[in-house]
Structure 1
Amino acid sequence: MTDKPAFNILIVDDDRSMRQSLVELIKAAGWQAEAVSRAERVAAHLVNARPDVILSDVRMPGMSGLDLLASLDTGNGPPVVLISAHGDIPMAVGAIHNGAYSFVEKPYEPRRLLTILRNAAERNRMKQRNRRLADRLYRLSGLDRILLGQSDDVMALRRDILDLADTDAAVLIEGETGTGKELAARALHDLGTSPDSPFVALNCAALTPDRFEVEMFGVAGESGGRLRAAAEGTLFLDEVCSCPSPVQAKLLRVIEDKQVLPVGATAPVPVRFRVISATNEDVSLAVSESRLRQDLLFRLNTVVLSLPPLRNRRGDLTMLMTHFLDHYAQTYEIAAPELSADDLAALMAHDWPGNVRELRNVAERRVLAARRGGGSVAQALQSAVQAEEVPDTLREAVAAFERELIGKAIRTHQGRMDAAAEALGIGRRTLNEKIVKLGLDKEALL
């Protein structure tokens, strides 16, 4: 991804021998060349291809080169160089006035033509880089909206994402459920050098060894597979610690070899993608328990991003709640309810175990109550407790139950860990490991 690709020239000429001659010249220069015989075919070609320059004959049956020039958006599309044996000065001046990059007469001088094409291609790439920079600055404000907050942890996270976005480094994102790990992964992708490339998300907990090759590698002559669908883009491995051990070995091989062997194929297919992974678990504990391969972890954690839990960002609560209230007020077409002193007190008193996802749900309940003429943040929180959402996976459900049970035991025994462990029927060491794994703050529980 970091190597500068060769220029790609699209040739449009109805003369077969001229097309072949131009293709050979351009390929001899070390560039890529594609050719079509009619200008009418260019629009369809541009749907799936991005040439650096279009080199077009002027006089052709049907749509002429001048007609083609008039049909293209020369401000945003590739530059057009016209070539003709019938050209004259007025035609050249008119073509350039109408947006052509240059005009070349046949018979052409090869070196001069290649110089014109090189200059046009370099200018186009510079224009595209400037446009990506402008888009990046625009998306920077979008990143501020996605990763809201002014706490030191959040501002550092935004800086890290911007620094890492245009690299190929493997990134492991750590954070509790609901902290926005996939949002961070998508931000890394969207702010990178190829935001239009694929972003393929895999729930590792749902991968099964018996179907892995078919689903991930594809079947020769039938399907490409999900890993090949991520080619030149980003592969996002969510819940990586929940990946079955046999699948981990196969993923490691793909990441190391950068190739896949489709089922039924005799030769592997090269595939390149950036790997971003995420987990809500302690990876060192997962490795020690043999649930995560250490060699796979070393391939995934070139850089580690840690997303802070919402309970550590209490200074951001008002901003986040206001943002979500405004969002849902627009969705449900009502005025956003104002936050009262009691609402702010309820926000600050809650521990937010579901993090930003939970806060967003509470904001929606508050807006829905406002549609009926009442409601408060405290009532929205109480509704959340009474109608607690079922976690997405069994692992999350077990973790939520363990978190609640351990927290209750610690409070009941006033922080005496030996007594809490005995009441739970587990050893003190196991209790300590679970407290770390579940992200419990013993001091906050008391």
Structure 2
Amino acid sequence: MSDTSETPSVLIAEDDRSMRTSLIDLMEAAGWRVEAVPRAEKVAERMVEFQPDVILSDVRMPGMSGLELLASLNPQISPPLVLISAHGDIPMATQAIKDGAYGFIEKPYEPRRLLNILAHASDQHRMRRTTQRLKDRLLNLSGLDRILLGASARTRGLRDEVLDLAEIDVPVLLQGETGTGKELVARALHDLGKRADGPFLAINCATLSADTFEEDMFGREGGARGRLLSADGGTLFLDEIGACPMPVQAALLRVIEDGEVRPLGADTPVPVNFRVLSATNEDADTAVAEGRLRKDLLFRINRVVCALPTLRERRDDIMLLVTHFMQEFARVYETTPPDVTPEDLTALMAHDWPGNVRELRNVAERRVLAARRGAGSMGAAIQVDGLPEDVPVTLRESVAAYERELISKAIKAHEGRMDAVAEALGIGRRTLNEKIVKLGLDKDALL
């Protein structure tokens, strides 16, 4: 990212000319951009134009002292201040740190130690500025930019492709690893297309049973209405199409080819009209070759193939994504999102992200929960081993209690706007509704 690679800068406040020159020479030799002023009173003026990453100030100077300069700075927006003094002692250093100084160096200084402290302070400030810019940008996002979040070339290309495909009413096969956001893209294609006012029916093909498929999906004459009929005029999303039982694939193929379903016991078929979107986390041609996916069904659903990038292929988006997720979870858990430190960024960039954006979202949640307790780091949130000590008696109880609390807080945080709740939790609206019913939650009672 640009903010972690740009040349660091330091503003020096030192009244002694020889010391000022010595510090300038040291910092320039180390590759820093440097400006220096002889009085602390001039720091505020130079900060506006120079915008340093860190301030290095003598403690004892004519006029305003380094400690008074520290007190005058706004800790929310000002760069960190490192104090340097030939007259410092332990009580002074301790008090300076308590008052907000990043560090304290005694003269004569050891160059390597000074450079290390300034580098760490600079990294922290630039990371804070980067995070703030990301937060400001997130506030202004809307539409597809908010759904498919990211600024990398791969993400921008995906947004352009979605905008193009939304305008043409053809079947699309979404291919991507688990956690890359295939259902989000499917919903975007629906919401931006001609069928946006119609229903969006998402079906996880891995859960379908050949024994109950026709009654569930086609319905029964004089009985329950089939689920496929409820998608008429909208979009049918077939998730994990490669996991669909072969008899079910044959039935789906007939529906797609004929544009009609025949409820059990009915004499005549009922016409249906929907756009078909499908998704798979494996190579569809391989699934056909291995006999797990019908070739004729693939030909019907892959008129256009849209490949979703992995998080490894869009690492430039990681900071924006984790900032967004931590803000969302901070609202859900009624806390303040933690700052991302240089060490956190290193951990984020070093991880391989096999679970992609979904895994990053889980990491962000764990980081927020740890910060709520005043602990944790991004590295610890990534490397999770074992279960908490206070897990309920059974795993099922633990999961249910966790989901109940999380969904309840999300409903409160988003004031009952269920589309926003589903987006914040990273699940589909249909899945959210099913969980609310299963967990026995009363939305009205929560608001």
Give the TM-score taking structure 1 as reference length: 0.54
Residues 8-407 of structure 1 mapped to structure 2, 5 A cutoff:
141-383=142-384, 385-387=385-387
**Separation of aligned partners in 2, 1:236 and 1:243:** 13
Q: CA deviation at 1:247?
A: 0.8
**Separation of aligned partners in 2, 1:278 and 1:145:** 21
Give yes or no for contact 2:202–2:237 (8 Å, CA) kept in 1: yes
**Separation of aligned partners in 2, 1:287 and 1:210:** 23
**Separation of aligned partners in 2, 1:146 and 1:168:** 21
**Separation of aligned partners in 1, 2:271 and 2:281:** 31
Structure 1 residues 325 and 298: CA distance shift in structure 2, 3 A: same
Structure 1: which 4+ aligned runs deviate by more than 4 Å? none
Q: Deviations over 1:49-71 (max 9, x none)?
A: xxxxxxxxxxxxxxxxxxxxxxx
**Separation of aligned partners in 2, 1:274 and 1:232:** 8
Root-mean-square deviation (Å) = 1.6
Q: CA deviation at 1:319?
A: 1.0
**Separation of aligned partners in 2, 1:386 and 1:343:** 22
Q: CA deviation at 1:193?
A: 2.1
Give yes or no for contact 2:235–2:276 (8 Å, CA) kept in 1: yes
Q: CA deviation at 1:381?
A: 1.0
Q: CA deviation at 1:374?
A: 1.7
Give the TM-score taking structure 2 as reference length: 0.54
**Separation of aligned partners in 1, 2:213 and 2:141:** 37
Q: Deviations over 1:287-329 (max 9, x none)?
A: 0001001110000001111111111111111111111111111
Residue 102 of structure 1 is matched in structure 2 by none
**Separation of aligned partners in 2, 1:142 and 1:332:** 25
**Separation of aligned partners in 1, 2:186 and 2:141:** 15
Q: Which SS does the other structure have where 1:209 is aligned?
A: coil
Q: Deviations over 1:95-143 (max 9, x none)?
A: xxxxxxxxxxxxxxxxxxxxxxxxxxxxxxxxxxxxxxxxxxxx99221
Q: Which SS does the other structure have where 1:237 is aligned?
A: strand
Q: Which SS does the other structure have where 1:210 is aligned?
A: coil
Q: CA deviation at 1:166?
A: 2.7
**Separation of aligned partners in 2, 1:221 and 1:155:** 49
Q: Deviations over 1:177-223 (max 9, x none)?
A: 11100000001111112323111111111111111110111101112
**Separation of aligned partners in 1, 2:225 and 2:368:** 45
| 2:171 partner letter | A
Deviates more, 1:202-211 or 1:344-353: 202-211
Q: Deviations over 1:199-253 (max 9, x none)?
A: 1111111111111110111101112201111001000000000111111111001
**Separation of aligned partners in 1, 2:220 and 2:182:** 32
Q: Deviations over 1:270-298 (max 9, x none)?
A: 11100000000111110000100111000
Give yes or no for contact 2:169–2:194 (8 Å, CA) kept in 1: no
**Separation of aligned partners in 1, 2:238 and 2:228:** 11
Q: CA deviation at 1:386?
A: 3.7
Give yes or no for contact 2:150–2:321 (8 Å, CA) kept in 1: yes
Structure 1 residues 197 and 149: CA distance shift in structure 2, 3 A: same
Give yes or no for contact 2:173–2:301 (8 Å, CA) kept in 1: yes
Residue 31 of structure 1 is matched in structure 2 by none
**Separation of aligned partners in 2, 1:339 and 1:314:** 16
Q: CA deviation at 1:152?
A: 1.5
Residue 49 of structure 1 is matched in structure 2 by none
Structure 1 residues 250 and 313: CA distance shift in structure 2, 3 A: same
Q: Which SS does the other structure have where 2:194 is aligned?
A: coil
Q: Deviations over 1:372-423 (max 9, x none)?
A: 112110111122x4459xxxxxxxxxxxxxxxxxxxxxxxxxxxxxxxxxxx
Q: Which SS does the other structure have where 1:324 is aligned?
A: helix
Structure 1 residues 155 and 212: CA distance shift in structure 2, 3 A: same
Gaps of at least 5 residues in structure 1 are 1-138, 389-446
Residue 42 of structure 2 is matched in structure 1 by none
**Separation of aligned partners in 1, 2:376 and 2:303:** 47
**Separation of aligned partners in 1, 2:354 and 2:276:** 28
Q: CA deviation at 1:154?
A: 1.0
**Separation of aligned partners in 2, 1:312 and 1:190:** 26
| 2:309 partner letter | P
Give yes or no for contact 2:276–2:301 (8 Å, CA) kept in 1: yes
Gaps of at least 5 residues in structure 2 are 1-139, 389-447
| 2:151 partner letter | Q
Q: What is the identity percentage for the equivalent residue pairs of Structure 1 and Structure 2?
A: 63
Give yes or no for contact 2:195–2:235 (8 Å, CA) kept in 1: no
Higher relative contact order (CA 8 A, sep 6+): 2
Q: Deviations over 1:303-356 (max 9, x none)?
A: 111111111111111111111111111222222211101000000110011110
| 1:239 partner letter | E
Q: CA deviation at 1:167?
A: 2.1
**Separation of aligned partners in 2, 1:219 and 1:357:** 38
Matched positions, count:
249
Give yes or no for contact 2:205–2:244 (8 Å, CA) kept in 1: yes
**Separation of aligned partners in 2, 1:349 and 1:196:** 43
